[in-house]
Amino acid sequence: MNPGRMRSLLAFTLFLLAFTPALANPVGSDKPRPPVAAARDPNNERDIERAVAALLKRMTLEEKVGQLHFPSLAFPHQPQLEAVRRGEIGAMLNVVDPRFIRAFSNAARQSRLGIPMLFAIDAIYALKITFPPPLAWAATWRPELAERAAFEVGREARAVGVNWTFAPMVDVSRDPRWGRVIEGAGEDAFLASAFAAARVNGYRRGGLATSVKHFVGYGAPEGGRDYTGTEISTPELLDRYLPPFVAALQAGSETVMASFNTINGVPVTMNRKLITDLLKKQLGFDGFVTSDFVAIGELVNHGVARDLEEASVLAFRAGIDFDMASGGYDLALAKAVRDGRIKTSEIDEAVRRVLRVKYRLGLFDATPADFAALPRPVDETSVRRSARDVARESFVLVKNDKSALPLTAATPAIALIGAAADTAAHDHSWWGPAGHAKPVTETLRQAIEKRLRPGQTLNYAPAFADACGRKYLDKGAAIAAAIRSDIVVFNVIEDCDVQGEGVSRTKLELSGRQQDMLDALAATGRPIVLVVETGRPLVLAKPDRQADAILIAWHPGTEGRTALAEVLTGEVAPSGKLPMTFPRSEGQIPIAYNTLPTGRPWTGSRYTTGYIDEANTPLYPFGHGLSYTTFAYDPIILSQPAMSTTGSIDVEVMVRNTGSRTGSEVVQLYTRQLVASRSRPIKELRGFEKITLKPGEKRSLRFRLAAQSLGFHDDAGRYVVEAAPFKVFVGGSSDTAVTTDFLITPASARGAPVRSSGSGP
């Protein structure tokens, strides 16, 4: 092995080690996790490798290429059935009807070698029961709830015969103009890593193979416009975008999806450095990599290939094992082997990865009876319970002046405004109830009506002709309902038909006529509670001035309106925290809490960093979220003031419920390296835990900070942990409550004076 390769391997081992503690336990314990491969049963793995090798020997070149060919279900599907029988198709996407799955499985069984098929869809947060979207899962700050949600979705998908999901999407993003933020866990690598692992565990437990996506850097599109290129430095790639992928691989994700974007000018689909060198070799990933949908063909649009044939050879040589829907591999690979552009051994390696995954999933053990039994029943009560639990904990109360919420018995008349409040037709999900009957969904109006106290009335007015407030139905009736009431609950929604992909926006204010309606409601002088359904941070600066309370409800899903009514009426206290910063205006984007310091911090004078027309601060910071009670933090107690580069420090903090209600708080721990060899973020999340406290109750929390988890990558991709002064912050948001200082000292001279590795003091 050459020294360069040795160095990069070492760097990555260190990198993995450094992230291991952070991923093992979201509260920051340093208990190590087993590496990816060791998570599997080695005996079984040996058997699998033997079976794969034996099968490979029996396969013709055409059958091998067939295993890499991954089309979408086409109509009529007879020609595809024939192709499956000839061993020319290894997997199919967008097939959710058990009848098709049964037919294709039987056809695969009838092929010469009977190799089973993968059936893939985007089973992300819904099949029959729609959960809130993954961004809302992250807002719970409880990875175990994401695990449950993914498990239920996985179960429902598996029940119709699907065995592979294109999830989790773990792209870190700080740009809410990009619609796909709805699918991820927000702007922070540490939070996203905890949720990436949880989601992989959940989908897998539900019976699906996962495809962690989009590898890598897709979350940083230029201008927030989907499918545009990204410019990402090595440290940024390794510190910000890669960690959630590492977490998902550690959790056992069987497959990885390559992203559409270019990085620094090179499309990922043809990027050998990223796919083969980084992912497969350095991170040791031994499953297979699929392209994204028709991404191989799109290499022609990227201007790096003349035609589909050339694009296919480029992608294959980069390490893309599976061709999703471009039809390039079946066109080009066998020919490329015959004319010497691709070696048989390279084809074998890709096919080995695919077969390995099929064996790991147990697909070779399935019998026709298993397919005959599709769709299998799923216990809907349990899925609904999980959907409600996730929704409840995902709502984020970003403002609550004069205790506008919860709605109490002391409020005789409540106005409920908005067509969205009396329908569930606008529920967002990728696949709807695919393969299942549409579930019954309670509307917010029905859920609140059930909870009215004696003597209390609900004055409902839809205001709009459609759920998304694009057109008025009767504005006057809505104003009249507000005037007749003591408080107004206005249910607004980001927009309809927003599913993430391809829905980039430049304007993030309330859409349609909703702001106009809010202006009119505000003019009545009644207190206003704004319930905001959204899949991304919106610009709510004006609503923030008009409403007394704002509850971010995400897209709450099948059980979500019931959960909303529980929270609005105080049966349940809100406990979500923002996984993404809410800007004051679009002009602040990209904006995130963990920005770098500047040489010219804002002082109010001209030549310091800032806008002449807007504040630097966000409207609602990352980690922010209120409860119906209040919490106070005692000063931080450190187990010791310093640790060596190989040591750890325990950070202890006492949290008290200082209000009059039971409530939950997400205690968040951040650090900052004050002096370093390169500028380091002003805060970085390092631990979190959600706790529930009764009025007057206090709890002491302990986080372990391992020095090895506090490093970063340099330009050469080396992971460094520097001896340096640090700050630690703890609080209920990234705008933290309490802070203190500690040191990392050189490993050899514990307790010796600290010298930073940079220009230093």
Q: Which is nearer to ligand NOJ, 200 or 591 (CB)?
A: 200
Span 154-193, contacts to ligand NOJ by CB under 6 A: 166
Q: How far is the CB of 499 from ligand NOJ (least distance, A)?
A: 11
Peptide bond into 590 cis (omega under 30): yes
C-alpha distances out from residue 635 to 129, 484, 689, 742, Å: 44, 48, 17, 14
Q: Specify the residue, 286 or 298, whose C-beta has the smaller distance to ligand NOJ.
A: 298
Question: 623: left (phi > 0), else alpha (psi -120 to 50), else beta?
Answer: left
CB 93, min distance to ligand NOJ, A: 6
Question: Rounded to the nearest whole angstrom, what is the least distance from the CB of residue 174 to ligand NOJ in the complex?
Answer: 19
Mark out the alpha helices in 451-574 (DSSP H runs). 475-483, 514-523, 541-546, 560-568
CB of 124 to ligand NOJ, least distance (A): 9
Does 122 participate in binding ligand NOJ (rule CB under 6 A)? yes
> Residue 171 Cβ, how far from ligand NOJ at the closest point, in Å?
10
- The residue with its CB nearest to ligand NOJ is 166
* Residue 46 CB burial class (10 angstroms; 0-12, 13-18, ≥19): exposed
Q: Kindly write down the DSSP assignment for every residue of 43-89, as one continuous string.
A: HHHHHHHHHHHHHHHH--HHHHHHTTEEPBP-SS-HHHHHHHHTT--
Q: State which residue, 122 or 665, has the beta carbon closest to ligand NOJ.
A: 122
Instruction: Give the residue with the Cβ less far from ligand NOJ, 268 or 649.
Output: 268
Number of Cβ atoms within 10 Å of the Cβ of 401: 12
Residue that the structure tokens 């460094």 belong to? 720
- Lay out the site mask for ligand NOJ across 48-67 (x = CB under 6 A, - = otherwise): --------------------
**Alpha-carbon gap, residue 150 to 253, rounded angstroms:** 13
Least CB distance from residue 135 to ligand NOJ, whole Å? 15
Contact between 501 and ligand NOJ by CB under 6 A: the answer reads yes
Is residue 728 within 8 Å of 670, Cβ to Cβ? yes
> What residues pair up with 670 in beta bridges, in sequence order?
685, 729
Q: How far is the CB of 292 from ligand NOJ (least distance, A)?
A: 5
Catalytic residue among 122, 188, 239, 292: 292
322 in contact with ligand NOJ (CB under 6 A): no
Of 259, 619, 567, the residue nearest 396 (C-alpha): 567
- Token digits of residue 402: 């004069």
Q: Is 298 in the site for ligand NOJ (CB under 6 A)?
A: no
| Site residues (CB under 6 A) for ligand NOJ, limited to 73-92 | none
Phi, psi for residue 494 in degrees, rounded to 5: -50, -55
Q: Which is nearer to ligand NOJ, 329 or 719 (CB)?
A: 329
What is the per-residue binding string for ligand NOJ in 374-403, x denoting contact by CB under 6 A? ------------------------------
Q: How far is the CB of 274 from ligand NOJ (least distance, A)?
A: 17
Residues between 190 and 229 with contacts to ligand NOJ, criterion CB under 6 A = 213
The SS3 call for residue 192 is helix
Interface residue with ligand NOJ, options 88, 188, 286, 292 (CB under 6 A): 292
> CB of 166 within 8 A of CB of 257?
yes
Our finding on whether 293 is near ligand NOJ (CB under 6 A) is yes
Interatomic CA distance for residues 194 and 216, integer angstroms: 17
Nearest to ligand NOJ of 501, 509 (CB atom): 501
Which positions from 719 to 738 touch ligand NOJ by CB under 6 A, shown as an x/- string? --------------------
Question: Does the protein bind ligand NOJ through residue 442 (CB under 6 A)?
Answer: no
Q: Give the H/E segment covering residue 97.
A: none
Smallest distance, ligand NOJ to C-beta of residue 553, A: 25
Distance from C-alpha of 525 to C-alpha of 110, rounded to nearest angstrom: 72
Nearer to ligand NOJ, 154 or 527 (CB): 154
Q: Which is nearer to ligand NOJ, 213 or 555 (CB)?
A: 213
Handedness of CA 740, 642, 240, 390 (dihedral sign): negative
50's CB contacts (< 8 A; 6+ apart) are none
**How many residues can be counted in the chain?**
761
CA distances from 300 to 38, 221, 225, 294, 486 (A): 40, 20, 20, 11, 61
Report how many residues bind ligand NOJ under the rule CB under 6 A: 6
What's the closest the beta carbon of residue 293 comes to ligand NOJ, in angstroms? 4
Site of tokens 């399935």: 366
294 neighbors 269 (Cβ within 8 angstroms): no
Complex with ligand NOJ: residue 168 or 560, whichever CB lies closer? 168
**What is the residue-wise DSSP string for 357-417?**
HHHHTTGGG--HHHHHTPSPP--HHHHHHHHHHHHHHH-EEEEEGGG--S--TT--EEEEE
Catalytic (active site) residue 292: yes
Based on the shown chain and the rule CB under 6 A, indicate whether residue 141 belongs to the binding site for ligand NOJ. no
Residues 681-700 that bind ligand NOJ (CB under 6 A): none
Nearer to ligand NOJ, 293 or 395 (CB): 293
Instruction: Tell me the three state secondary structure of residue 211.
Output: strand
Q: Name the site residues for ligand NOJ (rule: CB under 6 A).
A: 122, 166, 213, 292-293, 501
Active site residues: 292
